[in-house]
Each structure stands twice: as structure tokens, then as C-alpha cells.
Amino acid sequence: MAEEAKDVSVPKIGVYVCHCGSNIAKQVDVFGAVEYAGTLPNVEVAREYKFMCSEPGQEIIKKDIKELGLTRVVVAACSPLMHEITFRKAAEAADLNQYLVQIANIREQVAWVTKAKDSATAKAKALIHGAVNKATYLEPLQTRKVEINPASLVVGAGIAGIQAALDLAEAGFKVYLVERDSTIGGNMARFDKTFPTLDCAACILTPKMVSVAHRENITILASSNVEDVSGYIGSFTVKVRKQPRYVDIEKCTACTACWNACPATIVPVDRKIMLGEQLVNTSSTQ
């Protein structure tokens, strides 16, 4: 029969300091650190063991959780990248929420980078103190599975954005490529050659631009800006504002004749240069 859930709002913290063989013990006074940890607020018990990540070490933690009613666990050992999951699973096996475990890294951040033993011990105590304070305010979390939206948004359709979109599309994902300009290509479209090889910029960029336009799972949103992003990883909602085109997109062939014919818009300087026109001072009319 399952045990009654612990009142985790009451902090009863167990602190466990690992020798890690000689990795930690060689530079840190482990026994001194344990004695210090026992004086900290809300600490119910403080212990040391040669290898806390071993089965016997984990059993010490499990036993204390059950018998002493611990509601938080602090492990002073190696990097959480190594054994955070190990200690979380140990806590979970003792009916304590796995997210009520806090790791203090006194191997990589202390023993391995500090020469003087006194300094290493002082730093280890400081990290343990910080971990205990943080553990006091930890709250239980629940793991759940949710459906995610695998579509991707790439902001900016320069050469980097284009390549990112192509790579994502090649991996089978739906891609939305947003570009604030009226066309994709970015600055590279204005270059003649690329550094340092002096290769033809257009020869590199143009095939990628064509490829992006032809991919069924890439939607290009030119003349558009991202206005709002909300949600979380796997379930973002993005608001994109598309600027007016003033032309029928389905019929437009990009012949550029409308740039000269439109009485209400100044033709952008860079477009005039591309068309080889003589630049004149004009004012827009409404």
C-alpha cells in the first residue's frame, strides 16, 4: 500500500557529501563540510560516503527519506550532468518527488580547480550552503507528455536563414521562413564575390533561393515581421504581420514595371540602382 504523501512544504533537508574516491576528498575536507552542513537551517541530517552514486550510497539516501521523513535532498558530489538523474531516481524510489533533489558540484567546480585545501573546503561549504538554501524553496513538479507542433519558424531569409530552412525541410519538417524584405537573399544578394575564396556570390545563393521556393514544406513569408511569440517549447504561437503588396500575388511576375508606374511610392534607392535608373529627388504622393 502506498505511503501517505509527505508534506513537502515543510523543509526537512538531508545533505550527502561524496568523497568520489580521492577526486573530492583529496582537496576538500569532507568531514568538515558534513559537520558544517549539519549546522545549516532546515538540515535534518548530514552524512558522507565514499561513493554516493553507488548502490549503497543511494540506499543511505532512500533510508533517510523514509525513516526521517526528509522532504528535500542535497547531494554534494560531481557535476549534475553525471549523476543528477541517478539521485533523482533514488529519491523517487523512496516516494519523494524527484525534483526536490538539488546537486552541489564540488568536484569539477571545487576539487579539480582549487589548489589549496583550505580554499577548496571553504568553497565547498559555500556551494553546499547555497544548495541548501535553494532546496528550501524547491517545489514538486510532475512529468507529463504533451503533443508538440513539429513545424519550425526561421526568422530572416538571408543565406543563413535559407540554409537553415533547407536543412529543416530536408529533415521532413514544415518550415515557415519569415523575411521583412520583399525578397529573400539578404545581403549576399547584393554581393559580387564572397570572401575569402572570391567565389561568385550569386552562383552560391541563387540555387538555394530557387530550392527554397520549390520546396512544398517551406512557406516563404516575405514583407513580413514577427510581432509576438507566446507558448513554450513544442507549442509556440507566433503572430506574423504581412505587409500589403498592392499587387495580385498570383499574377505578379516580378517584372518591376509597377515600381515606375506607381504614383504613391518612392522606388527604393537600391532598386533604382539595380534597374540602372538615374536617381532623382522625388517626394511621395498620397
Per-residue model confidence as pLDDT tens digits over 202-256: 999 999 999 999 999 999 999 999 999 999 888 899 999 999 877 787 888 878 7
Quickly tell me which residue has 521562413 as its cell. Answer: 177
Q: CA–CA distance from 165 to each of 155, 178, 239 (Å)?
A: 10, 10, 19
Reply yes or no on whether the pLDDT at 276 is more than 60. no
Distance CA 174, CA 176 (A): 7
Q: Grid coordinates standing for 144? A: 507529463
Residues 6 or more apart from 59 whose CB is under 8 A from it?
Answer: none
- Identify the pLDDT of residue 174: 96
Asked whether the predicted pLDDT for residue 281 surpasses 90, the reply is no
CATH number of 152-243: 3.50.50.60
Residue 177: per-residue pLDDT: 97
Q: CA 83, CA 78: separation in Å to the nearest integer? A: 7
Q: At what angle do helices 80-93 and 55-68 cross, to 10 degrees?
A: 50
Mean pLDDT of 65-75: 97
- Please provide the DSSP assignment of 127-147 as one string: HHHHHHHHHHT----------
Calculate mean pLDDT across residues 54-72: 97
Q: Average pLDDT for residues 109-113, to the nearest whole number?
A: 97
The answer on pLDDT for 125 being more than 50 is yes
| Higher pLDDT among residues 272 and 49, named by residue | 49
Distance from C-alpha of 70 to C-alpha of 15, rounded to nearest angstrom: 10
Q: What is the pTM of this model?
A: 0.63
Show me where the domains of the chain are located: 13-136, 152-243, 253-286
Q: How many CA atoms lie within 13 A of 168 on its CB side?
A: 21
Cell numbers describing residue 139: 517545489
Mean pLDDT to the nearest integer, 71-77: 98
Average pLDDT across the chain, whole number: 89
Determine whether 2 is exposed, middle or buried from the number of CB atoms within 10 Å of its CB (0-12, 13-18, 19+).
Answer: exposed
What pLDDT is stored for residue 247 in this prediction?
A: 77
Q: Which residues, other chains included, contact 142 with Cβ-Cβ below 8 Å and sequence gap of 6+?
A: none
Lowest mean pLDDT among 41-45, 49-53, 74-78, 186-190: 186-190
Instruction: Report CA-CA distances (Å) from 74 to 105, 111, 138, 241.
Output: 11, 18, 11, 48
Tell me yes or no: is domain 13-136 CATH 3.60.21. Answer: no
The answer to whether residue 285 scores a pLDDT higher than 80 is: no
Instruction: Please state the φ and ψ torsions of residue 153, each to the nearest 5 degrees.
Output: -115, 125
SS3 assignment, position 241: strand
pLDDT band at 64 (very low <50, low <70, confident <90, very high): very high
* Confidence (pLDDT) at 282: 43
138-160 per-position pLDDT tens digit: 999 998 888 888 999 999 999 99
- Cβ atoms within 10 Å, residue 190: 11
Distance, in Å, from the CA atom of 217 to the CA atom of 169, rounded to the nearest integer, reads: 6
Q: Do domains 13-136 and 152-243 have the same CATH topology?
A: no
Identify the band that residue 266 occupies on the pLDDT scale cut at 50, 70 and 90.
low
Q: Is residue 6 pLDDT above 70, yes or no?
A: no
Provide the pLDDT confidence category of residue 270 given band limits of 50, 70 and 90.
Answer: low
